[in-house]
Amino acid sequence: MPPPEIDNPLGVNIHFTDPKAGEMEMIAAGGFRWVRMDYAWGSIERERGQYNFSAYDRLIAALEKQHMHAIFILDYSNRLYDNDLSPYTEEGRQAFARWAAASAQHFKGHGILWEIYNEPNGGFWRPKANVDDYAKLALAVGKALRAAAPTETYIGPATSTVDFNFLEACFKAGLLQYWSAVSIHPYRQTGPESAAPEFRRLRQMIAKYAPTGKQIPIISGEWGYSAAWGGYTEEKQGKMLPRQWLNNLSNDIVLSIWYDWHDDGTDPKEPEHHFGTVANAYHPDQTPVYTPKPAYLAAKTLTSLLNGYHFNKRLMVGGEEDYVLLFSKGNEVRLAAWTTAANNHPVTIPASPGSFQVTGYTGDKIAPLAANTKGLAVTLTDTPQYLVPTQPNEMLRLAADWERLPPEIVTTAPNDVRIPANLSKSLLARNPTEFSSYLGPHGNILKIPPVVSVMRSADPMPVRIVLTFPNSRIRLVQETQIIVTNPLRVTLLPRVGSVLPVRVENPTGGAFRGTLNLTDTRDIAPAKMPIQFQSGQTEQTINLPAASNVAAEANGFYGVGLNIQDDRGKVVLSLPVEEFHAADNFASYAVDTAPGGYAIVPEGDPKVASEQTLTTATPPAGLPAPGMGALKITYRFDAGWKFVQVQPKTNALKAIKGQPKALGLWVYGDGSGNIARMRFTDATGQTFQPEGEAVKWKGWRYITFPLDGTHAGFWGNDKADGTVHYPIHIDTLFLFDSANRQKQEGTVYISSPTLIY
């Protein structure tokens, strides 16, 4: 795998084998050191057993002239095998594997990363995604490559999004025995920083299935932002590129490929046309030959300022939304700093007195800053600023010398975890006198929680380590996450009458016996029920008695808190009090009629035909309690972009009281993979669309949508700032979006929309 210097692990997707004059030079000038390109089976083997590599020979020659490297995607079908579908027979798989092995032998020694297929969990695997067929193909290729060219690097599976179900199936099939890295495409319309929990989860999954002693890193093999998405512009797209790359580096992603090199078209409303770092038009008589967009300038700025530097650590400064990344090269240090908060705000970065040059994300020079004895005061914005000390900075060099905490500490629970207390010893050993002005005669003081009590929470537990100095008020702060290997997850479900359903998940399937306790006494009387998981049991729903008082019944709100005790009475999981409010009760509508308060509206490409109906219905079996109502949605989409929206028609159904953090909803899935979303508007007229969930399940599942603006695309007026201004209103209670743009039809149900505070 490439070493982690900034000069090496960044690249771009291309769609050609023969660059236009000046094109490859411009890619290299942008700091891109890798290109990812389809290596299409059907274009190389046009007669059985005969391979024509000439087009890719030319591409490799053009790349190596610019000191660049290639990721070649072993992909797609061949008309000579398996009816031109993705390989599904043994004959087709072996033919694909022979072609892959011959390719690796032909290009051996050129440092190519061979990636098996492109987004096989989506529409690129024809006729439809099939993880079993994909795994068989990837195994056949792995065995062939190991036999024919064992020194070549083999990676996969290049999933669309971080598809954990697909990835785990690949790992269970044994593919980590052959892969040198796991590649994913973490697309989203929210900020790239939101991918960090997925990276963390994927690292743990890889560690679980990897062969003993084998370290397998993660590659972000394709990921970009379209300037034509709602709420996006070329300027905002440009801000996302450095944030994506910097966030990836801070999460130990060893290679990041931006999608796309240049815009693929000029239709202002077509998102696929506007992922590029440069515009679509080629200008052979100009230099540069393409018009740079802010994304290109951002890439060039990042790679030039941090060329040869290693990511050292993230310094915790301000809140969780504030990012200050420290980079080092020998004794030299540099910083990249930004925030995901809605508003610009000042922070103080630990630094010795001295001046700093400041560069904006597209290379513009910003007024220099000066640190004093308190540190370096910087106003963070939503775009990275690069801070370069003009002379050696003692405090930042000391920060670089301080050992980086591991990204996470993995343990079983309940447990008392001792945080490593020797983080400063190597620092002192390497620098016995150099930092005496900060350390003082007695050395430094490391303030840490000696022991952290860990319960069986499914959420990572952040722990901050603080390094203080006798001779200074400046502190250095790092953070790690404690990950529990045997978590329990509790979800409070909408109350039905005097019953409060509680879903308890036990992902690892370990045996457990204890008590589920309802602890809040404001609105619902205390209650408890025994809970027991047999070995291998991963989920159950427990119906707690939930008789509420008169006031709670009158205003429709109720608040509850929970804990779980083991059979010895020890609390192993505790949930703070949350407040709930039923948004509607579909059970009040007559069954098999059109619900008067809601309408179903088709949207998307007006040229794509659809049919859709919305009726009340008796819910299919599987809800946790009797008496729940449902809305039934039937749909038929022609091929293309189409979605339907279930929209409330009255102000009473649209209005939302207070400031809820989420909307919960039961969804009866049809396994289509279409995306479930919702929309809400705020007091300024902005529309927010929280990230949805692919409905790959069949039957009932409870899902939630955040209502605080996190993990949400937004659009509206010219002053749209992505901050939720209350009060808010429901625009679309449920949105069902065609995922693969293919012709399809189906039926889904929704039930019990509930606001969570």
State the pLDDT at residue 322.
98
State the pLDDT at residue 1.
59
Q: From CA 757, how far away is CA 748, in angstroms rounded?
A: 27
Residues 6+ apart with CB under 8 A from 118: 38, 73, 75, 76, 124, 158, 222
Residue type, 137: L
* 97 phi and psi angles, rounded to 5 deg: -65, -40
> Would you state the structure tokens that stand for residue 585, as one six-digit string?
């009760």
Mean pLDDT of 220-245: 96
Check pLDDT > 50 for residue 550. Answer: no
CB-CB contact of 335 with 347 (8 Å): no
What confidence tier does 714 reach under pLDDT thresholds 50, 70, 90? confident
Q: What DSSP character marks residue 519?
A: -
CB-CB contact of 492 with 502 (8 Å): yes
What confidence tier does 469 reach under pLDDT thresholds 50, 70, 90? confident
β 10-13/253-258 pair status: parallel
Backbone CA torsion sign across 563, 564, 570, 573: negative
> Would you state the structure tokens that stand for residue 651, as one six-digit string?
């102000």
State the pLDDT at residue 553.
46
Stronger pLDDT, 524 or 551, i.e. the higher one: 524
Percent of the chain with pLDDT over 90: 79
Each residue's pLDDT tens digit, 34-54 = 999 999 999 999 999 999 999
What confidence tier does 423 reach under pLDDT thresholds 50, 70, 90? low
Mean pLDDT of 369-394: 97
Q: From CA 58, how far away is CA 35, in angstroms rounded?
A: 14
Each residue's pLDDT tens digit, 562-589 = 999 999 999 999 988 888 998 998 988 8
Helix 131-148 to helix 164-172 angle (10° resolution) is: 50
Beta partners for 729? 655, 681
If one counts every other C-beta atom within 10 angstroms of the C-beta of residue 709, the result is 20
Q: What DSSP character marks residue 379?
A: E
The length of the chain, given as a count of residues: 757
Check pLDDT > 70 for residue 115. Answer: yes
Check pLDDT > 90 for residue 250. Answer: yes
Mean pLDDT of 77-82: 98
Q: From CA 396, how far away is CA 337, in angstroms rounded?
A: 14
Check pLDDT > 60 for residue 443. Answer: no
State the pLDDT at residue 554.
47
Mean pLDDT of 521-541: 88
Beta partners for 345? 380
Mean pLDDT of 420-444: 58
CB-CB contact of 133 with 94 (8 Å): no
Q: What DSSP character marks residue 122?
A: T
Check pLDDT > 60 for residue 752. Answer: yes
Check pLDDT > 90 for residue 449. Answer: no
Of 34, 57, 80, residue with least CA distance to 220:
34
Of 701, 755, 709, residue with least CA distance to 733:
755
Check pLDDT > 70 for residue 664. Answer: yes
> Is the bond into 432 cis (omega within 30 degrees of 0)?
no
Residues 423, 429, 430, 432, Cα dihedral to 10°: 120
CB-CB contact of 539 with 503 (8 Å): yes
SS (H, E, C) 565-587: EECCCCEEEEEEEEEEEECCCHH
SS (H, E, C) 582-649: ECCCHHHCCCCCCCCCEEEEEEECCCCCEEEEEEEECCCCCCCCCCCCEEEEEEEECCCCEEEEEEEC
Check pLDDT > 80 for residue 422. Answer: no
Q: From CA 239, how far away is CA 226, in angstroms rounded?
A: 12
Of 536, 420, 554, residue with least CA distance to 478:
420
State the pLDDT at residue 703.
95
Helix 131-148 to helix 90-106 angle (10° resolution) is: 40
State the pLDDT at residue 401.
86
> Would you state the structure tokens that stand for residue 223, as one six-digit string?
């990921």
Mean pLDDT of 89-102: 98
Each residue's pLDDT tens digit, 50-65 = 999 999 999 999 999 9
Q: From CA 111, how far away is CA 53, in angstroms rounded?
A: 16
Check pLDDT > 80 for residue 399. Answer: yes
Q: From CA 456, how far away is CA 458, in angstroms rounded?
A: 7
> At 525, is the secondary structure helix, strand, or coil?
coil
Stronger pLDDT, 643 or 439, i.e. the higher one: 643
The pLDDT mean for the chain works out to 92
Mean pLDDT of 272-299: 97
State the pLDDT at residue 551.
43
Of 203, 123, 701, residue with least CA distance to 410:
203
Q: What DSSP character marks residue 418?
A: P
Residues 6+ apart with CB under 8 A from 555: none
